[in-house]
Structure 1
């Protein structure tokens, strides 16, 4: 397994130097900033990632202002109590991507967020308090306790919201395979353990957040 400095050098050669290899990578939010993010924004991010799964992301991005309006700004309290009539209205609403399973997942995640927020002060506070050394546990928690937040969806929600972490896209997986960390895309918590260990090692070596390491791994391939 190469050091992070060696992988950064590969990315730099592919993209025109170290500055280019690191360009445009967002800085994760602080714990205080995550904790202060409204529960409605977490539900909105979940909804956006759920709607984007399996279809063109650009379609969702184009429709997003209308989707926000149709869901009334994604207030978890109101949506967790969605009536059958309100559900049916959304299924008929032309502003919305009319998938009953995805709309049901948004309703279920509203209840999930509401419950976690009541226990932790805010949903973002619970996310912020989750230890970096167990990022795979955070992903597993979202998958288990949330609705349709497995696969890459939960990781994309966290990245969208500024929580430090990694997303196992095609190029990141390819680099992890090249480094001998895994031999195929990980599909279980056990298979994710060496991924967590590799990111922990690279973070200790470099002092950089997982978000930056993840993006550099991707740029070392693509």
Structure 2
């Protein structure tokens, strides 16, 4: 497996300078203490990424005030009890994207977060305490217990929440393949585990965060 210093050197060469590389890394670093967030903000972030999946992200951003209003500020209790009448109201609301299964995911993820809050005090505490050395385990929990949070949707949700995490974007997967970590797509449990183990080894080697390493990997290969 390639040493991370070599990968960083490739990214530096592509960006042209230390300053340009650092600016590109920092632009996507949203690190914060998730336990300090209200669980409504976690539901809002999950919902935004679910609605953006397969859709133009900018459209969702422009409509986001409408989403906040329609879903009562993403109050966990209110959305966990979304009724058939509530669903009908949402499906007639032009202030949001009227996609029935995605709308229902707000209810299902409210239930998921409510359950986590009962188990851990707050859902934010659960996500904050989960070790970045087992992100693939966290992805699995989100996929099984949440709604539409598998794959890149859940990965981006964690990144924007502020979790120290890597994202298996096409660029990162390509960089991992070039580094001798993966063979093809990172879809099977075995390949996901290989990716996690590589990041864990590089974290020990460099002391870098998982988020920064993910960004450096993405920038080490052609766009």
Q: Same fold by TM-score, threshold 0.5 exceeded?
A: yes
Q: Contact 1:22–1:216 at 8 Å: present in 2 too?
A: no
Which residue in the other structure is 1:61 paired with? 61
Give RMSD over aligned pairs: 1.1
Structure 1 position 108 matched with structure 2 position 111:
no
CA–CA separation in structure 1 for the residues paired with 2:52 and 2:14 = 29
Moved over 6 A (4+): none
**Change in CA separation of 1:129 and 1:11 when aligned onto 2, cut-off 3 Å:** same
Which residue in the other structure is 1:7 paired with? 7
CA–CA separation in structure 2 for the residues paired with 1:132 and 1:55 = 28
Report the secondary structure of 1:163's partner residue: coil
Q: Contact 1:177–1:183 at 8 Å: present in 2 too?
A: yes
Structure 1 position 40 matched with structure 2 position 43:
no
Report the secondary structure of 1:152's partner residue: helix
Aligned counterpart for 2:31 among listed residues 17, 28, 32: 28
**Higher mean Cα deviation, 130-139 or 205-214?**
130-139
TM-score by length of 2: 0.95
Structure 2 stretches of 5 or more lacking a match? none
Which residue in the other structure is 1:188 paired with? 188
Structure 1 stretches of 5 or more lacking a match? none
TM-score by length of 1: 0.95
CA–CA separation in structure 2 for the residues paired with 1:117 and 1:83 = 22
